[in-house]
Amino acid sequence: MANVATLPTARAPDARSPAPEPLRIESLADRQRRRRRLVLALRLAVLVFLVGGWELGVRAGAIDPFFFGQPSAIADKLVDWSVNGTSIGPLWWQVGVTIYEAGAGFLIGAVLGVLCGIALGRNALLADVFSIYIKVANSIPRVVLGSIFIVALGLGSPSKIALAVVMVFFVVFANAFQGVREADKNLIANARILGATRWQITQAVVIPSALSWILASLHVSFGFALVGAIVGEFLGAREGMGLLIATAQGAFDANGVFAAMIVIAVVALLAEGLLTLLENRLLSWRPEKSAGE
């Protein structure tokens, strides 16, 4: 008689053994929070390493503080400026003047860049006519334009705003123009079949398609607006952070130069945060990125 293989019988669970723990599924929000904490910790570690190494190098005599400054002395300079003011006036006033010039130039340059980029992107004839002039204007060194603006508009804010406008315009224009050209041709054709006018296609299809391009350029262009305002103040001004840097440079005050740079960097980071909030609000329809992206 053939042997019959017996199947192993299932054992009843032992009442004394602990129940298996349920698997914990980590949500996307948890992974994103954990990644943000990791990124913040690494950023702080890099900052502590660089600043601490700089301070130790100065104290050890490996770095000359006359040329490269010292972090502790830079912090003392910032406290002194905040409490007693700078050599050209209160620190908050110098920061306010530069923010006003950079902000006005940023807004004007961004609006002009978007309008011109969309207009030339939607009209091939205008693009062919004006492309050569835009390339020539973009090739002119900005420092030369800053000197021309100071001669024409004086030492006040208008010359700094004009230079900031030029710095911003070409960045935003290039992205807006390319964003319009990259609009989905199938969507445009479908809109035409449905009877949409040229303005309706531009408003409902082209501009939303180019919006991500435009917003990406705004992140970069505000930094260029700050550079334009500060370079203009450096070339000739009565107030502003650029004049403060020029004054510190003239006095061979490396700590003063670095202190002014830190103030400008803080302003740029705050502006970047505001632009990020604006981008998230305008592009809320985009799908969320996963934690690994």
Cβ proximity of 108 and 165 under 8 Å:
yes
Tell me: pLDDT of 1 over 50: no
Question: Pseudo-torsion of CA 191, 193, 196, 197, nearest 10°?
Answer: 110
Q: How many domains does the chain have?
A: 1
CATH of the domain at 247: 1.10.3720.10
Report yes or no: 238 and 56 within 8 Å, Cβ to Cβ. no
Residue 162 lies in a domain: yes
Query: Under a CB-based contact definition with an 8 Å cutoff, are residues 119 and 126 in contact?
Result: yes
Predicted local distance difference test score (pLDDT) of residue 255: 92
* Mean pLDDT of the region 51-65: 90
The answer to whether residue 209 is domain-embedded is yes
Give the pLDDT band (50/70/90) at residue 291: very low
> 247: closest CA among 110, 140, 33, 88?
88
19: pLDDT strictly greater than 70: no
Q: Residue 292 — very low, low, confident or very high, per pLDDT cuts 50/70/90?
A: very low
If residue 77 lies in a helix (H) or strand (E), which one and from where to where? Answer: helix 71-84
Whether the predicted model's global pTM rises above the 0.75 cut: yes
Residue 138: pLDDT band (50, 70, 90) is: confident
Tokens matching residue 20: 């298996």
Cβ contact 233:158 at 8 Å: no
Task: Give a yes or no: residue 5 inside a domain.
Answer: no
Judged by average pLDDT, the poorest of 15-24, 40-49, 160-169 is: 15-24
Residue 7 reports pLDDT greater than 80: no
Name residue, tokens 């260029």. Answer: 224
What percent of the chain is predicted at pLDDT more than 70? 87
Q: What is the dihedral of CA 138, 230, 213, 171, to 10 degrees?
A: 0
- Measured in degrees and rounded to the nearest 5, phi and psi for residue 89 equal 135, 180
**Is residue 50 domain-resident?**
no
152 residue type, one letter: A
Instruction: Quote the CA–CA distance of 164 and 224 in Å, as a whole number.
Output: 7
Helix (H, G, I), strand (E, B) or coil at 153: helix
Stated length of the chain? 293
For residue 200, tell me if it sits in a domain: yes
Question: Cα–Cα distance between 137 and 54 in angstroms, integer?
Answer: 41
pLDDT tens, 143-161? 888 889 998 898 889 999 9
Tens-place pLDDT, residues 186-231: 888 888 888 888 888 888 888 888 888 888 888 889 889 999 999 9
pLDDT tens string 67-86:
888 899 999 999 999 888 88
Q: Taking the chain, what is the end-to-end CA distance rounded to the nearest angstrom? A: 65
pLDDT digits (tens, 9 = 90+) for 99-135: 999 999 999 999 999 999 999 988 888 888 988 998 8
- Structural domain boundaries, residue 98: 83-282
Using only C-alpha atoms, what is the Rg of the chain? 29
**Which of 42, 74, 78 minimizes the C-alpha distance to 58?**
74
Q: Is residue 59 part of a domain?
A: no
Would you say residue 37 has pLDDT above 50? yes
Does 76 fall in a domain? no
In a domain, 169, yes or no: yes
Higher pLDDT, 29 or 93: 93
Query: How high does pLDDT run on average in the chain?
Result: 84
Let me know: does 117 contact 169? Beta carbons within 8 Å. no
Instruction: Taking residues 50-73, report their average pLDDT.
Output: 90
Q: Is it the case that residue 273 has pLDDT exceeding 90?
A: no
Cβ proximity of 142 and 85 under 8 Å: no
